[in-house]
Structure 1
């Protein structure tokens, strides 16, 4: 589709009258709404005029109440909520919604756990019989592997095997407490 001078002038006239891109495309014929929008941007036309006067004078007041200040989270066993913004539709309107904040899970350490002393082996020092539990950040020089004696047919020592292979009911227990 070619934009002739006549079609461009008609586009400018319809745009200044406040018609939508879809309405202009229908009146011009043989052109899509997106083509109209693209041409309007390439021509640097100002925003469409609203029917009945200036855009700012006729803009209705917002019907939404002013957003409330966010509440500070309270972890005393009750649900807390804070507003969360999200966009709606093509105009990206802001809509406030209450979002429940989850309580943090309280961890209680067992008193009978004995943590083995790491042998601090590098990757090249590991064998089939050493624990391959990684310790620290791999991007730092302090990174190492546990290196303690591994159990039969396990890549980990007894302590790290308990961490890695938890029974199903143990993994689900913290989730049940949270609800």
Structure 2
């Protein structure tokens, strides 16, 4: 299939009318959606017309279940899905307790096991501590298992189960909001 001037003109017209690349490919016949997209980009077409399907959707009012009509009690339930799920609740969470008490980094790594990049081996922990642009930057340097770049303590930090990461992310988002 070649792009004749008639087919290019039809492509421009259909693109300006707001048809999708799949719809245009169907109209032209013998071309794929990706071929249409490529030709549109090569032609520099932009500024598509709005289609009629982009009209704002109207929401239906929620109908109260039978027996509760006339009561104005509203109990706020935490949302777990949708865009409102990330909004902070008005009351602070009482059960949000940090998993471990934050200790200064210097207390976690004894001075005797601290290592510079030149002292690292296959069996030393390569957990970076501090700012690499500063003079006091170092690596943990403790003993690590075979095939693992970190010591047991830093493996617990680096390799967390997915469920723990999701839970921590949710509590961090609530705390930051």
TM-score between the two structures when normalised by the length of structure 2: 0.39
Higher RCO (C-alpha 8 Å, min separation 6): 2
Write 1 or 2 for the structure with the bigger share of helix.
Answer: 2
Larger Rg: 1
TM-score between the two structures when normalised by the length of structure 1: 0.39
Write 1 or 2 for the structure with the bigger share of strand.
Answer: 1
